[in-house]
């Protein structure tokens, strides 16, 4: 009861703040920071951690480190300044060449689903789509294929993958670039993607570190005269307590370090009061000391706000380098650049720190053998680079290699298959798979070809959506629309009629029976709807765009076999989910260039869907906690504050802690077959388990003791249906009562994907590592295994848990 009252109060307060107490759209959510919130609370400040630790090359980079040290020993001071300061040039980020040392410079390119500023490159599925596969192999292969394209275009660094935002708020504009609203699944996805990129020879960049959980006020607002001293209000401060930091936001970044990510990108916003790119606790303390990160930290573009303070705080490379990124003249200089030279000359900057910055940059370069026959930068990148067009270049770039290289290889087939396997079947009342229906009608503005210009810079009314917008998008060389793919399939099947209505307003405001103008309604009505999201803005609501809900209701009023497909950035409220005429719902997210083919493969059963939700779909948009802070009611310089007071309670952790009914829970997804689980058992892998880990020497990923397996949990999975399909058994851990308050009721700590023939059974094993069974103890500053009994449950979603086993690693 107390919970309910508290929740009611929260909702009422938010409602009053945003809408003057009037009734509001239940799917719209925003939060206005009330007055007097700059007063420091129990957290919201950052301890100082200095000096910035030097890299040791540990974890396998020792040989590369010595090559990097030799390289740095040959640099002049001006060259050193160049090595840590970006320049406008052909790529989104550029480090200039030093020909006398045979160093041809570094080319940094976006982004997490494609090499964006490039022609003849593929557009892969978005992070959220890839996460919905819950498939380690797919995540790796996607990273590997993408990495091949970056390399073939001459990019040394791919600016991805994304673990921040993690998905604290359902409304955050960039959640789709990342993976899942869960640190464990995101951590696995980071690790697989980074390994894929780097096995292909390109450096990964784990971003945005850390706390970048909303877009609104991610950067400061400046006075219109455009000088950096005229800040009206500083960027928002993400105020995160130590335990939440470790157990949620830092967790997947630890996987990234463990996977030996070459680089990290610090985020735009402030973190506990100071800018993330000069936050010594985050960069020196958490990342370089605690996690043992051996690579380099680059700033987000324009995310550097100081010279010395950033360098001492742990920033190693300033991107894009000049103050042009802040709206100033390209020749206005840089926080780094010439200031680095001055700093060393006047003794304020220790040259050993500058050397460490460059050694950190060059070690992964040598480790990945980027000094040996690396492809040249494709000159066409320079032509397409609107961020630093040729007119802004201050230095010379020697673009001699072949132009407009086609780097797509056979990736179309991979992209098609991966997006099909990522499709989440949310509802299916025997509507799917389709079996050569006689008649099909297609509805919705997401079905057809885009008729309204560029696919990736803004939303458009007519045409299918296969990616979100901003730096995380891709430049399509083609995009297969659902309508084109359905038409092709219908012709092959001799389906006698394909009619289509692509104007949502027309569908929503007319009687669909009139639109159909036929005596018999089609055997199946396929409705395609979409939801846009982009960098730089948070979502205002969770509904399907362009009156999508009304479109479904209108079609379903006439057609008793209405199948809804969404192409969306992520969470959508689906108020029509229980409509009896809505017989199937599929969430296809952003599938990339093969969109239509991927969804036809699923609709017709060529691919049995096996995607599972990487987030929760609530009953109402207002059911979600942790909304973005959309406004402040005071105008002080530091007044934008976002208190992560929900702590560990995001997504399912929150809905479970408060027993809130949801539409479709985290981990949910149907198949054309059915599965069963049985025979769970657990085996302890080490003889004695202590509460605290042994203090081993830190390796990339942190104390290696955290990554040692303590238990194996095994369960038998059976395909009980009559078609082949892939099951996704998921393991959730409930911590003992002795764990400090605020521990979520259950947390994902294992998953697998297994393909099974009808009737086939297989054993699946999950290894529980020390970190999986620990909480972050803010007193001892350690991961600690609480004493008492853990309940380990395995099921097919976070609320469909079928098998239970109990373990007591540390006796009370």
* Catalytic residue set: 300
Instruction: Determine the distance from the C-alpha atom of residue 355 to the mean position of all C-alpha atoms in its chain, rounded to a whole number.
Output: 32
Q: Is 301 in the site for ligand NOJ (CB under 6 A)?
A: yes
Least distance (Å) between residue 167 CB and ligand NOJ: 16
Question: Residue 322 or residue 725: which is nearer to ligand NOJ going by CB?
Answer: 322
Q: Is 355 in the site for ligand NOJ (CB under 6 A)?
A: no
Question: Is the Cβ–Cβ distance between 625 and 29 less than 8 Å?
Answer: no
Question: Residue 159 or residue 297: which is nearer to ligand NOJ going by CB?
Answer: 159
d(CA 801, CA 797): 7
Least distance (Å) between residue 747 CB and ligand NOJ: 28
d(CA 54, CA 214): 32
Virtual torsion, Cα 647, 648, 652, 658, nearest 10 deg: -60
Q: Which 143-172 residues touch ligand NOJ, going by CB under 6 A?
A: 159
Q: Sign of the CA dihedral 108, 114, 117, 122?
A: positive
Virtual torsion, Cα 490, 491, 497, 498, nearest 10 deg: 60
DSSP 8-state secondary structure symbol assigned to residue 35: T
Q: Which 356-415 residues touch ligand NOJ, going by CB under 6 A?
A: none
Q: How many chain residues interact with ligand NOJ (CB under 6 A)?
A: 8
Closest among 395, 360, 459 to 86, alpha carbons compared: 395
Question: Residue 206 or residue 340: which is nearer to ligand NOJ going by CB?
Answer: 206
Least distance (Å) between residue 15 CB and ligand NOJ: 31
The three-state DSSP-derived secondary structure of 307-327 is CHHHHHHCCCEECCCCHHHHC
Name the β-bridge partners of 684: 711
Least distance (Å) between residue 164 CB and ligand NOJ: 10
Residue 310, both tokens: 């950033």
Least distance (Å) between residue 348 CB and ligand NOJ: 29
The three-state DSSP-derived secondary structure of 433-465 is CCCCCCEEEEECCCCCCCCCCCCCCCCCCCCCC
Least distance (Å) between residue 256 CB and ligand NOJ: 15
Least distance (Å) between residue 170 CB and ligand NOJ: 20
Instruction: Determine the distance from the C-alpha atom of residue 706 to the mean position of all C-alpha atoms in its chain, rounded to a whole number.
Output: 24
Residue 184, both tokens: 């464990």
Q: Sign of the CA dihedral 549, 555, 560, 562?
A: negative
Least distance (Å) between residue 298 CB and ligand NOJ: 9
79-111 residues labelled b (16+ CB within 10 A) or e (exposed):
bbbbbbbbbbbbbbbbbbbbeeeebbbbbbbbb
Question: Residue 158 or residue 713: which is nearer to ligand NOJ going by CB?
Answer: 158
Question: Is the Cβ–Cβ distance between 549 and 585 less than 8 Å?
Answer: no
Site string for ligand NOJ, 504-533 (x = CB under 6 A): ------------------------------
d(CA 496, CA 515): 18
Question: Residue 33 or residue 212: which is nearer to ligand NOJ going by CB?
Answer: 212
Q: Which 629-648 residues touch ligand NOJ, going by CB under 6 A?
A: none
Question: Is the Cβ–Cβ distance between 629 and 33 less than 8 Å?
Answer: yes
Interacting residue with ligand NOJ among 81, 92, 297, 728 (CB under 6 A)? 92
Site string for ligand NOJ, 451-490 (x = CB under 6 A): --------------------x-------------------
Question: Residue 261 or residue 756: which is nearer to ligand NOJ going by CB?
Answer: 261
Residue located via tokens 């238990």: 711
Question: Residue 536 or residue 759: which is nearer to ligand NOJ going by CB?
Answer: 536
Q: Which 202-221 residues touch ligand NOJ, going by CB under 6 A?
A: 207
Which residue sits closest to ligand NOJ, CB atoms considered? 471
Q: Which 668-687 residues touch ligand NOJ, going by CB under 6 A?
A: none
Least distance (Å) between residue 788 CB and ligand NOJ: 42
Q: Which 690-709 residues touch ligand NOJ, going by CB under 6 A?
A: none
Question: Is the Cβ–Cβ distance between 512 and 472 less than 8 Å?
Answer: no
Closest among 368, 336, 409, 307 to 158, alpha carbons compared: 368
Residue 708, both tokens: 């040692």
Question: Residue 109 or residue 597: which is nearer to ligand NOJ going by CB?
Answer: 109
Question: Is the Cβ–Cβ distance between 699 and 57 less than 8 Å?
Answer: no
Site string for ligand NOJ, 103-142 (x = CB under 6 A): -------xx-------------------------------
Instruction: Return phi, psi of residue 524, to 5°.
Output: -145, 140
Q: Is 300 in the site for ligand NOJ (CB under 6 A)?
A: yes
Q: How far apart are the first and last CA of the chain?
A: 31
Instruction: Determine the distance from the C-alpha atom of residue 25 to the mean position of all C-alpha atoms in its chain, rounded to a whole number.
Output: 28
Question: Residue 158 or residue 613: which is nearer to ligand NOJ going by CB?
Answer: 158
Q: Is 589 in the site for ligand NOJ (CB under 6 A)?
A: no
Residue located via tokens 């056979």: 410
Question: Residue 475 or residue 746: which is nearer to ligand NOJ going by CB?
Answer: 475
Least distance (Å) between residue 771 CB and ligand NOJ: 27
Q: Is 538 in the site for ligand NOJ (CB under 6 A)?
A: no
Residues near ligand NOJ (CB under 6 A): 92, 110-111, 159, 207, 300-301, 471
């Amino acid at each position: 009861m107390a919970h309910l009252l508290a929740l009611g109060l929260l909702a009422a307060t938010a409602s009053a703040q945003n809408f003057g107490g009037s009734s509001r759209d239940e799917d719209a959510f925003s939060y206005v920071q009330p007055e007097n919130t700059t007063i420091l609370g129990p957290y919201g400040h950052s301890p100082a951690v200095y000096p910035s630790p030097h890299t040791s090359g540990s974890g396998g980079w020792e040989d590369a480190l010595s090559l990097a040290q030799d390289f740095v020993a040959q640099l002049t001071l001006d060259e050193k300044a160049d090595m840590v300061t970006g320049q406008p040039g052909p790529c989104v980020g550029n480090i200039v060449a030093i020909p006398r040392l045979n160093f041809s410079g570094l080319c940094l390119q976006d982004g997490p689903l494609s090499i964006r500023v490039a022609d003849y490159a593929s557009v892969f599925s978005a992070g959220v789509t890839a996460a919905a596969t819950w498939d380690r192999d797919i995540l790796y292969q996607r990273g590997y294929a993408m990495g091949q394209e970056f390399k073939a275009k001459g990019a040394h660094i791919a600016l991805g993958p994304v673990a921040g935002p993690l998905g604290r708020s359902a409304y955050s504009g960039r959640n789709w670039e990342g993976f899942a609203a869960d640190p464990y699944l995101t951590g696995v996805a980071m690790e697989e993607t980074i390994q894929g990129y780097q096995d292909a020879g390109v450096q990964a960049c784990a971003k945005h570190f850390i706390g970048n959980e909303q877009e609104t006020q991610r950067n400061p607002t400046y006075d219109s005269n455009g000088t950096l001293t005229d800040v009206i209000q500083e960027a928002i401060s993400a105020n995160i307590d130590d335990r939440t930091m470790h157990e949620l936001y830092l967790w997947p970044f630890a996987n990234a370090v463990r996977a030996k990510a070459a680089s990290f990108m610090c985020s735009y916003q402030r973190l506990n009061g100071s800018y993330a790119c000069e936050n010594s606790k985050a960069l020196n303390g958490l990342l370089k000391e605690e996690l043992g990160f051996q690579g380099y930290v680059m700033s987000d573009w324009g995310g550097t706000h100081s010279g010395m303070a950033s360098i001492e705080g742990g920033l190693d490379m300033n991107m894009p380098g000049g103050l042009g990124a802040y709206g100033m003249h390209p020749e206005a200089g840089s926080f780094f650049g010439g200031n680095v030279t001055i700093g060393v000359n006047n003794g304020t900057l220790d040259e050993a720190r500058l050397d460490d910055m460059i050694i950190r940059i060059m070690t992964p370069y040598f480790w990945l053998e980027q000094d040996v026959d690396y492809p040249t930068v494709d000159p066409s990148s320079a032509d397409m680079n609107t961020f630093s067009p040729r007119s802004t270049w201050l230095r010379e770039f020697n673009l001699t290699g072949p132009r407009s290289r086609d780097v797509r290889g056979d990736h179309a087939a991979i992209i098609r298959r991966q997006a099909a396997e990522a499709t989440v079947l949310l509802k299916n009342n025997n509507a799917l798979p389709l079996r050569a229906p006689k008649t099909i009608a297609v509805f919705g503005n997401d079905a057809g070809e885009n008729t309204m210009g560029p696919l990736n810079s803004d939303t458009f009314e007519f045409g299918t959506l296969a990616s979100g917008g901003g730096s995380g998008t891709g430049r399509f060389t083609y995009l297969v629309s659902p309508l084109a793919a359905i038409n092709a399939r219908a012709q092959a099947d001799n389906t006698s009629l394909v009619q289509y209505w692509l104007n949502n307003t027309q569908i929503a405001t007319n009687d669909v029976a009139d639109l159909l103008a036929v005596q018999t309604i089609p055997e199946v009505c396929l409705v395609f709807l979409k939801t846009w999201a982009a960098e730089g803005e948070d979502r205002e609501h969770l509904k399907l765009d362009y009156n999508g809900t009304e479109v479904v209701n209108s079609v379903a009023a006439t057609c008793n076999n209405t199948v809804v497909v969404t192409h969306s950035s992520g969470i959508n409220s689906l108020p029509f989910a229980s409509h009896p005429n809505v017989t199937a719902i599929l969430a296809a997210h952003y599938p990339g260039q093969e969109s239509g083919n991927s969804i036809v493969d699923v609709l017709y059963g060529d691919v049995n869907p096996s995607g599972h939700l990487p987030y929760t779909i609530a009953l109402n948009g207002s059911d979600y906690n942790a909304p973005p802070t959309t406004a402040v009611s005071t105008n002080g310089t530091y007044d934008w504050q976002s208190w992560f007071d929900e702590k560990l309670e995001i997504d399912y952790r929150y809905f479970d802690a408060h027993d809130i009914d949801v539409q479709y829970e985290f981990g949910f997804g149907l198949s054309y077959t059915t599965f069963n689980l049985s025979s769970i058992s657990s085996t302890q892998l080490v003889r004695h388990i202590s509460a605290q880990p042994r203090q081993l020497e830190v390796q990339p990923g942190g104390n290696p003791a955290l990554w040692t397996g303590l238990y194996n949990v095994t369960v038998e999975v059976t395909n009980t249906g009559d078609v082949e399909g892939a099951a996704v058994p998921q393991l959730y851990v409930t911590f003992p009562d002795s764990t400090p308050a605020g521990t979520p009721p259950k947390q994902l700590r294992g998953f697998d994907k297994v393909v099974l023939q009808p009737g086939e059974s297989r054993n699946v094993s999950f290894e529980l590592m020390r970190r999986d069974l620990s909480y972050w103890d803010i007193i001892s500053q350690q991961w600690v295994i609480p004493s008492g009994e853990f309940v380990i449950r395995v099921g097919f979603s976070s609320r469909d848990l079928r098998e239970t086993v109990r373990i007591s690693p540390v006796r009370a």
